[in-house]
Amino acid sequence: MPIMIADQRTHHTLHRMGSLTSAARRSAWRHTPDAEDLRQEAVAARDRVLTDLPGHLARLEETARAHGVAVYRAGSAQEANRHIIRVMRELGVTDALRNHHPLLYEIQVDRAARANAIQLTPLHPGDHLTQLAGEEPGHPIWPAGHLTVESISATLQEKWRVPETYNPDHLASTVRMPLRRALLRAHTAILGVDFASVQEGVFLLLDNDGHNASLAGLARHVILLLSIEQIAATLDDLDALIQVFSLSAWARPLPAYVTHLQSPARADVDGPRTIHLILVDNRRTEIIEEGFGQALRCIQCGACHTVCPVYQQIGGAGYAHSPYTGPIGAVVNPLLLRPDLGEPQAYLCAGCGHCQAACPVDVPIPEMLHAHRRHLAQTRPQGDDKRYFTLWRRLLSHPSLFIPFIRRDRKK
Amino acid sequence: MSSSLVDLLIQNWERLGGTWERWENPINARLALLRYLHEQKRTEVLAWRADEIPIPGLAQAMQDAGIDLLHPHRRNLSPDLALGLTGADAALAASGSLVLVPAAGRSWLPGLIPIHHVALLPTHRIYADLRAWRQDWRKSRPEDAARALIISGPSFSDDIELHKHYGMFGPRQVHLILFDE
């Protein structure tokens, strides 16, 4: 598989995003009282559920059912999509709005919806722009982070026949109007859940633009999709995760909107009348059994992306059309999606270790990439070494781009 | 209420881009609200039911000022709605946040759909942070702690080259009227 090096303008955009968001993230953590304690609490919260995932899931299922939520288990992406399509048919709806969440890309819900004549509209502005441009999200938080103002303008001119503008505010307003109109007509929403708490059966949606909160308030029916590992034992653990996620993703103590969903709402109260929850495994149980459970600590905040010199060279497109990009993508793609993705992805690493230092839940990314490489070295024919060495050399052949970045990080 | 918590809330609220004013009693807060609505030239406001907003005599004052309080309903939601009015169940000083719990007559939507959101908050409802609020409510209002909406500043998207565009889906401007009881 070829590794794509981003063009100069895209590279500049990725580099700028990395520099700005990394500096903001470091500053936010520095200004957080007891930051290291918070980080340790978050790590403990992740490990508490990962050491007994089946037990926690059984309790979550029980609690959710007690609150009137319909719960389904999906062992695979196909099974998750079958549940979605069946629920939508039972509701008698042929269109829905969805939020932005890597899990929805992992199961390829858009493709499944199209195949079943269901119109699914992504409401997140960056996600919507990425889809209009015919591309895939390059970052868990900023799916359109790799798109330049020029390319967004060209896409909107072509697809929506709007006048040319390179003003980001005008472009955002152009996207905002139709999405807001769609939101106000919301009937059914498909929502990837950020976190859930087992003890209280609470499902949490985090965002800054408000599309999750508005959908939760307006949609009559919501179908929640939850990666089985994105759970916390209690609301206390959940609070630690919300805070570390927000600090690492958005460099602020809390995002603009933290939406809690627990049970279907009464007729005179905002909230969905029915809630359907799909718990998606899709190889996660095997990942734990295979000894890579620490990879599932990941809370998908994107902090490792913005400090990674390789990601800034290749962007999300270098990670095999997977929703999981950046350093953590290189670890989980071969585990979660297709084992053959492991070959080139295990070498998408400069060995600087910034990813683990930036990770709020201490995922040992470099160690796991080493484990992938060790496994590859033991299993592949000797002749392949040259190919991988060439690939690595190619990635590292721009020292002028790497060295200032690494020096800057060490200074801070 | 410790003045340091009020100060911290205000400091963080401002940092997020919110505006605020503080009054010594609910009556002055009511006058401030009417003045604010007058300045905004609004005669229709998407709002909580008046008796759910912790200001005495609000419904009559609004009526006298010729301002209609619209109760949110799918029929009256439009992308051009200018102003939403709510109380707040709590505030979190460390993050500059408001906590809203949905109930009959206390819709989330006035805080989510209009371009401006005005919230009225008695200062005794300010907590230090997320954890302090959660711990208190888990004892006193366990169900509400699990279904709240926490709002921290205006809605924004920074999806286009990290340029902040305010008012993407939710309010572009958030105004807090604090008052002592």
What percentage of chain B carries pLDDT values higher than 90? 81
Model confidence at A316, pLDDT cuts 50, 70, 90, reads: confident
* Interchain pair A254, B157: CB under 8 A: no
pLDDT at A400: 56
Cross-strand pairs, A277: A71, A224
Least confident of A169-183, A300-314, A390-404: A390-404
pLDDT (average), residues A242-247: 98
How does pLDDT run across A80-93, given as a tens digit for each residue?
999 999 999 999 99
Tell me how crowded residue A154 is: count the other CB atoms within 10 A of its CB.
14
Q: What is the pLDDT of residue A201?
A: 97
Q: Which of B9, B81, B98, B158 to mutate to test the interface with A (most CBs of A within 10 A)?
A: B158
Is B158 buried (19+), middle (13-18) or exposed (0-12) by CB count in 10 A? buried
Please report, as a single letter, which amino acid is at residue B18: G
* Mean pLDDT score, A340-356: 83
pLDDT in tens, A169-225: 999 999 999 999 999 999 999 999 999 999 999 999 999 999 999 999 999 999 999
Backbone angles phi, psi at B82, to 5 degrees: -90, -40
Least confident segment among A319-333, B30-44, B116-130: A319-333
Residue A379 in this model has a pLDDT that exceeds 90 = no
pLDDT, greater one: A387 or A150: A150
- Tokens linked to A173: 């307003």
Residue A399 is predicted with a pLDDT of 56
Of A20, A200, A269, the CB nearest to B162: A20
CA atoms within 13 A on the CB side of A160: 19
Structure confidence at residue A319 (pLDDT) = 81
The predicted model scores a pTM of 0.92
Of B95, B161, B165, nearest to A253 by CB-CB distance is B95
Task: Say which residue the tokens 């759910």 belong to.
Answer: B52
**DSSP string for A200-225:** TTEEEEEESSSHHHHHHHH-SEEEEE
Number of Cβ pairs < 8 A linking chain A and chain B: 171
The answer to whether residues A333 and A90 touch, using CB atoms and an 8 Å cutoff, is no
Residue A20 CA to residue A126 CA, distance in Å, equals: 18
State the pLDDT at residue A383: 57
Instruction: Tell me the per-residue pLDDT of B135-152, one tens digit each, with 9 for 90 and over.
Output: 999 888 888 888 899 999
Q: Find the mean pLDDT for residues B11-22.
A: 97
Closest A-chain CA to B18: A256
d(CA A312, CA A326): 9
**For residue A347, is pLDDT > 70?**
yes
Mean pLDDT of all residues in chain B?
Answer: 93
Contacts A243 to B, Cβ<8 Å: 130
Whether the CB-CB separation of A21 and A308 falls below 8 Å is answered with no
B167: Cα within 13 Å, side-chain hemisphere: 18
Cβ pair B165:A173 closer than 8 A: yes
What's residue A216's pLDDT? Answer: 94
Of A387, A408, A168, the closest CA to residue A312 belongs to A408
Query: Under a CB-based contact definition with an 8 Å cutoff, are residues B36 and B171 in contact?
Result: no
Contacts of B25 (CB under 8 A, 6+ apart): B179, B180, B181
Burial of B135: CB neighbours in 10 Å, binned 0-12, 13-18, 19+: middle
Alpha-carbon dihedral of residues A305, A311, A316, A319, nearest 10 degrees?
-110
Closest C-alpha among A252, A127, A251, A239 to residue A194 = A239
- DSSP β-bridge partners for residue A64: none
Quick check: B172 and B166 in contact, CB under 8 A? yes
For the CA atoms of A20, A25, A26, A27, the dihedral, rounded to the nearest 10 degrees, stands at 90
Which CATH number belongs to the domain containing residue B98 in this structure?
Answer: 3.40.50.10420
CA angle B168–A257–B55, rounded 5-degree value:
100
Report how far residue A105's alpha carbon sits from residue A103's, in angstroms, rounded to the nearest whole number: 5
For residues A36 and A341, the answer to whether their CB atoms sit within 8 Å is: no
Q: Which pLDDT score is estimated for B136?
A: 93
Q: What is the dihedral of CA A404, A405, A407, A411, to 10 degrees?
A: 130
Closest approach of A384 to chain B, Cα-based (Å): 39
Tally of structural domains, chain B: 1
* Residue A411 pLDDT level (bands cut at 50, 70, 90): very low
State the average pLDDT for chain A: 90
Using CA coordinates, name the residue in chain A closest to B135: A236
Q: How many CA atoms, within 13 angstroms, populate the side-chain half-sphere of residue A333? A: 25
Whether pLDDT at B134 is above 70: yes
Contact B161, A131 (CB under 8 A): no
Instruction: Give the start-end residues of each E strand in chain B.
Output: 19-23, 44-47, 68-70, 83-87, 90-92, 97-100, 116-122, 126-127, 149-151, 156-160, 163-166, 173-179
Spatial CB neighbours of A383, under 8 Å, sequence gap ≥ 6 = none
CB A173 within 8 A of CB A45: no
Percentage of chain A lying above the pLDDT 90 cut: 74
Per residue in B65-81, pLDDT tens?
999 998 887 666 777 78
Q: Which neighbouring-strand residues pair with B173?
A: B116
| Residue type present at position A369 | L
A41-55, B39-53, B86-100: which range is least confident on average? Answer: B39-53
- The reported pLDDT for the residue numbered A394 is 66
Nearest CA in chain B to A264: B147
Would the pLDDT of A1 be above 50? no
Task: Tell me the residue range of the domain where B131 lies.
Answer: 3-179
From CA A70, how far away is CA A275, in angstroms rounded? Answer: 6
Between CA A257 and CA A252 the distance in angstroms is 12
Q: Which whole number is the average pLDDT over A146-151?
A: 93
Mean pLDDT, residues A44-48 taken together: 98
Query: pLDDT > 70: what percent of chain A?
Result: 89
Could you give the domains of chain A? 8-31+296-411 (no CATH), 35-123+187-282 (3.40.50.10420)
Q: Could you tell me if A94 and A119 are in contact, meaning their C-beta atoms sit under 8 angstroms apart?
A: yes
pLDDT in tens, B147-166: 899 999 999 999 999 999 99
Separation CA A137–CA A101 (nearest Å):
10
Cβ contact (<8 Å) for B165 and A168? yes
Task: Show residues of chain A in contact with B112, CB under 8 Å.
Answer: 210, 213-214, 217
3-state helix, strand, coil split of chain A in percent (to 5) is 55, 10, 35
